[in-house]
Structure 1
Amino acid sequence: MTIGIMGTKIGMTQIFDNNGLAIPVTIIKTGPCFVTQKKTVEKDGYDAIQIGYKIVKPNKLNKPLIGHITKSGTHTLKYLKEYKINHSDSSPDLGDLISVDQLNIGQYVNITGNSIGKGFGSTRKRHNFNFGPMTHGSKNHRAPGSIGAGTTPGRVIPNKRMPGRLGNQRTTIKNLEIIDINTDDNLLIIKGAVPGKRGNLLSIQASKK
């Protein structure tokens, strides 16, 4: 697979190998995707392929997006993503189908998606800070403590580890092995966990491993 493919996380389960060992796996509904745009060095300054995923009704998209996708002669697609390619690669043509058939069992892939959002987190949960004293009348159990640096410089240093939003970040997990492929239902079975909750949009690219 010279470019990437998009999919949706179905959930996690476990399967058993020939030795009876349980293997945790993630099931991903992958593709089918369609090539909606080709970018070249001459026209755009770089080589890339834009693909679309998840066929929807036209009334779910705005008119500029419908006009853009119509040029490729494909279905109306909800999600678009661009993948850079080398000029020497044999890239697919406009409107071509990209399916799970391009992947192989035993191949390693990198999967990118948004991690699960956990809301506002404390310094203990977000940065693994320690508890404060739990006895002798201490009232500083979970508080972050002093954050200043004294009279000089008299301000909080940038990038100070503080409470704040936890999770919901773009995350990539590399070198995940493909355990099995179901071409009839476009399902991809990956060993291990991938970012996000059920229904999360994922981007899958071949690993260099």
Structure 2
Amino acid sequence: MSGLIGKKIGMTSIFDENGKNIPCTVIQAGPCVVTQVRTEEVDGYSAIQLGFDDKSDKNTTKALQGHFAKAGTTSKKKVVEFSFDEELNLGDTVGVDLFVEGEFVDVSGISKGKGFQGVVKRHGFAGVGQATHGQHNRLRAPGSIGAASYPARVFKGMRMAGRMGGDKVKVENLRVLKVVADKNLIVVKGCVPGAKNSYLTIEK
């Protein structure tokens, strides 16, 4: 799948031709530079590595500086591999014109970290019964987590409280509502994972 690396700008809403208010996300998609070309002969598979968002050489290792210099570009903060059908060479630039209005894309990103959360927020538990008949501070409790002397343990995978968020999430089939080529922006219907200014991978 071909695609681009992008950055989440934020959410807004626009009106369609019927006057319906549609929630949407604005994404800065590219421009991305081809920093490496993978081939079947050398790497065993074919892919295109794209780099996005400049960073200073002071914060880049010497090895990566040489890697980017070979492509004739500045150091990049984010690199991702894609499979492109068309032929691309080192140093080529891929822009937001890769997408057209009306098509559907898949967007991947790292979801917002929410810290240590209980079972109600993390797994949608309903709590243990109502607040009557002696039920004290049980409204958000997980309830029983196992049996008695058999199996005498808690099964792996039991849904409990714990760290929530910070996972890689892919949202599929988001419609591209608008492409703003001169500002490298695309507007997709709905929401995408991650906080503002977090990196995204947009695939078509």
Aligned match of 1:184: 182
Deviation at 1:13, TM superposition (A): 0.7
Which aligned pairs between 1:135-146 and structure 2 lie closer than 5 A? 135-139=132-136, 140-146=138-144
CA RMSD, Structure 1 to Structure 2 (Å): 1.4
Moved more, 197-206 or 17-26: 17-26
Amino acid at match of 1:57: S
Aligned match of 2:131: 134
Aligned match of 2:35: 36
TM-score in terms of structure 1 length = 0.91
Deviation at 1:165, TM superposition (A): 1.1
- Residue 110 in structure 1 maps to residue 106 in structure 2: yes
Q: Which runs of 5+ in 1 are unaligned?
A: none
Deviation at 1:170, TM superposition (A): 0.6
In 2, the alpha carbon distance for the partners of 1:83 and 1:103 equals 15
Name the SS of the counterpart of 2:64 in structure 1. helix
- Residue 95 in structure 1 maps to residue 91 in structure 2: yes
Amino acid at match of 1:65: L
Name the SS of the counterpart of 1:124 in structure 2. helix
Q: Which runs of 5+ in 2 are unaligned?
A: none
Aligned match of 1:201: 199
TM-score in terms of structure 2 length = 0.93
Amino acid at match of 1:94: L
In 2, the alpha carbon distance for the partners of 1:147 and 1:17 equals 49
In 1, the alpha carbon distance for the partners of 2:127 and 2:154 equals 22
Deviation at 1:152, TM superposition (A): 2.1
Deviation at 1:16, TM superposition (A): 1.3
In 2, the alpha carbon distance for the partners of 1:144 and 1:200 equals 33
In 2, the alpha carbon distance for the partners of 1:41 and 1:150 equals 57
Name the SS of the counterpart of 1:184 in structure 2. helix
Which aligned pairs between 1:10-25 and structure 2 lie closer than 5 A? 10-25=9-24
